[in-house]
Amino acid sequence: MAQSSLKDAPVYERIYALVRQIPPGKVTTYGKVAQMTGGCTARMVGYAMAALDFGTDVPWQRVINAQGKISPRAGGSGGALQRQILESEGVEFSAGGRVDFAVVGWRGPDWAWLETHGYYPPD
């Protein structure tokens, strides 16, 4: 996007720009993405991730639910793929299928990025 601020961009564009900031080996929740994006809900973030085309540059796999688990996907096999990709990035899961947010949780981009692009700071 040519503009320096994403403040007035459509919500899905804002969600995707934020998710692109999550580094490999880190995860965040649908709710945290919604909170930082502003003007949307965790469910909307889930819909945005589900709307992505195959081969996208948006690392959708790095967004999980607040329980630290991968949310079920339509068709059934998406969760297994998401876990496989995350494990290849070094994310470890417990026997119960949860991640440890203290180890792999992403707190958000730096304040300068958030401010420049009109996002809300994380808690």
Question: Cα–Cα distances in Å, from 84 out to 46, 48, 90?
Answer: 19, 21, 10
| Total tally of structural domains belonging to the chain | 1
Full pLDDT tens readout for the chain, 123 residues: 444 578 889 999 999 999 999 999 999 999 999 999 988 999 999 999 999 988 999 999 999 999 999 998 766 666 888 999 999 999 999 999 999 999 999 999 988 898 888 887 766
Residue 120 placed within a domain: no
Write the DSSP assignment of 32-62 as a string of letters.
HHHHHH-S--HHHHHHHHHTPPTT-SS-GGG
Do the Cβ atoms of 18 and 119 come closer than 8 Å?
Answer: yes
pLDDT at residue 4, as a whole number: 56
pTM: 0.90
Residue 87 placed within a domain: yes
Residue 5 placed within a domain: no
Q: Find the domain containing 59 and state its range.
A: 11-115
Amino acid identity at 88: S
Strand partners, 107: none
pLDDT at residue 77, as a whole number: 65
Residue 91 placed within a domain: yes
Residue 109 placed within a domain: yes
Residue 92 placed within a domain: yes
- d(C-alpha 61, C-alpha 79), whole Å: 9
Instruction: Give the number of other Cβ atoms within 10 Å of residue 121's Cβ.
Output: 13
3-state DSSP call for residue 68?
Answer: coil
Residue 122 placed within a domain: no
Evaluated on CA atoms 33, 35, 38, 40, the torsion sign reads positive
Do the Cβ atoms of 119 and 37 come closer than 8 Å?
Answer: yes
Determine the distance from the C-alpha atom of residue 13 to the mean position of all C-alpha atoms in its chain, rounded to a whole number. 13
CATH code of the domain covering residue 109: 1.10.10.10
Residue 3 placed within a domain: no
